[in-house]
């Protein structure tokens, strides 16, 4: 594109009408030459996804996004009341991992915090592996043994500190060691437990969209089935 140069610029004396062509009820569709046309639509999920059911059948992953206001707690006279957006990503279909609902925040001044959401896996059951949970350390005065009971605040073992929610989401808490401990826990949560479980999920999806198998315009790549568990 950097080699393309503008040959001339003309100002139109007479304004001509222009037209925006759109397929009724669809924001994306396949043209005769194979090009996929797409018109950007709102982030809010719809009861029925626009663009036809063929996309539901073909796609390995379909994620719908919704947007809510990230409240500005330090608002002033010029504030709109929002300091960013809270995005909810709902997996309507996912052949690679279990369909789940994920939330993340986009702060206008700070961007995305990569540690938000990891607290969901910092449970008392995972405390021995991760070292972060809403627990309270109890020290036996006679033996010096430390036990942990349920607490209302976050206890970070490697810092030996109790923290509020607002103090949790940073690299001092979620160190590389903590992230490595969380990795298999998070992977186990999202992945299919077995090939049989995956097959059951796919059978449900394929039954729902079986009518498209007869459409010559759609080609399904089944190689993904074999790659998942190799």
What tens digit of pLDDT does each residue of 148-178 get?
A: 999 999 999 999 999 999 899 999 999 999 9
Res 76: pLDDT: 65
- Could you tell me which residues are beta bridge partners of residue 89? 65, 102
Beta carbons of 139 and 162 less than 8 angstroms apart = no
In Å, what is the CA distance from 32 to each residue of 35, 36, 52, 212, 217?
7, 9, 16, 18, 11
Which of 101-115, 158-172, 192-206 bottoms out in mean pLDDT, i.e. has the lowest? 192-206
Res 224: pLDDT: 43
- Cα radius of gyration (the chain): 25
DSSP 35-51: PEEE----SS--SS-TT
Mean pLDDT of 43-69: 63
Of 112 and 23, which is predicted with more confidence?
112
202 CB-near residues (< 8 Å, 6+ apart): 95, 225
pLDDT at 220 over 60: no
Res 193: pLDDT: 77
Mean pLDDT of 30-34: 59
In Å, what is the CA distance from 98 to each residue of 92, 177, 208, 219, 225?
10, 26, 17, 24, 14
Other CB atoms closer than 10 Å to residue 192's CB: what's the count? Answer: 19
Of 60 and 163, which is predicted with more confidence?
163
pLDDT digits (tens, 9 = 90+) for 133-156: 999 999 888 888 989 999 999 999
């Amino acid at each position: 594109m950097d080699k393309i140069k503008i040959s001339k610029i003309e100002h139109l004396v007479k304004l001509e009408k222009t037209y925006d062509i759109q397929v009724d009820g669809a924001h994306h569709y396949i043209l005769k030459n194979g090009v996929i046309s797409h018109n950007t639509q709102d982030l809010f999920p719809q009861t029925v996804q626009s663009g036809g059911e063929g996309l539901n059948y073909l796609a390995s992953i379909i994620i719908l996004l919704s947007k809510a206001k990230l409240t500005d707690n330090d608002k002033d006279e010029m504030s709109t009341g929002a300091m960013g957006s809270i995005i909810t990503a709902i997996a309507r279909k996912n052949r690679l991992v279990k369909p789940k609902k994920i939330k993340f925040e986009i702060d206008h001044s700070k961007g995305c915090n990569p540690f938000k959401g990891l607290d969901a896996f910092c449970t008392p059951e995972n405390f021995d592996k991760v070292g972060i949970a809403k627990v309270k350390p109890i020290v036996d005065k006679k033996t010096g043994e430390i036990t942990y009971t349920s607490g209302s605040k976050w206890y970070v073992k490697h810092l030996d500190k109790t923290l509020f929610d607002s103090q949790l989401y940073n690299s001092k808490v979620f160190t590389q060691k903590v992230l490595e401990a969380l990795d298999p826990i998070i992977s186990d949560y999202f992945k299919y437990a077995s090939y049989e479980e995956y097959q059951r999920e796919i059978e449900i999806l394929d039954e729902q969209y079986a009518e498209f198998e007869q459409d010559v315009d759609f080609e399904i790549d089944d190689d993904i089935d074999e790659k998942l568990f190799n």
